[in-house]
A and B are shown apart, each in its own frame.
Chain A
Amino acid sequence: AQSVTQLGSHVSVSEGALVLLRCNYSSSVPPYLFWYVQYPNQGLQLLLKYTTGATLVKGINGFEAEFKKSETSFHLTKPSAHMSDAAEYFCAVRGAGTALIFGKGTTLSVSS
């Protein structure tokens, strides 16, 4: 079965600081992994995805994530946080023959 665990429901950083949002997964099939962002009162928007190939994936708004099979992780990072990055972030994994399975989300707060 597939599952996703996002460590930390709330992460706070200062503007300009490193952003690290953690995601661990379990999958019985080769995983496809996704990060989505949700701004207040909006739907989810894809940040980046990993399917096959290069394990370091770059996405929009300066975010990137690295697929580490040995650690079953797909952590999301950004070198320097901006106030506009404040949002909720969801990690998701492809289900076997099913839809995506989403984590519970991590709320990112950015202070000036």
Chain B
Amino acid sequence: DAGVIQSPRHEVTEMGQEVTLRCKPISGHNSLFWYRQTMMRGLELLIYFNNNVPIDDSGMPEDRFSAKMPNASFSTLKIQPSEPRDSAVYFCASSLEAGRNEQFFGPGTRLTVL
């Protein structure tokens, strides 16, 4: 298996622009997670889906952030408009079942907002 796939690996954009991060989970996994990692705040859970349904989005910082999972093999995290404080590494992870099984992480997307 190719593991969790994220794209792009690096993104540099200007403040105010829309940013879309993409994730393909491991085939057969029914839970998908989006995390953000910064030096200041560490690893933060933003949102997670179970069977394509958002279960907990309490970690989404504000309305500028949105996430979708239209099918079992694809998810997006969108930031509109982006701000410099959104600069971070964004990880996607998947698991067989939320909480009971280990999560498998993608390589991350390093976002820089100028």
Contact = CB atoms under 8 A, between A and B. Distances in A.
Interface of A: 32, 34, 36, 42-46, 49, 51, 90, 94-95, 97-102, 104-105
Contacts, number: 53
Interface of B: 4, 31, 33, 42-43, 45, 48, 55-56, 91, 93, 98-100, 102-108
Residue among A42, A95, A99 facing the most chain B CB atoms (10 A cut-off)? A99
Main secondary structure of the interface of B (DSSP, over half): strand
Contacts of B104: 46
A94 B91 CA distance: 18
A93 to B, nearest CB: 9
B43 A105 contact: yes
Contact of A49 (B33, B42, B102, B105): B102
Contacts of A104: 42-43
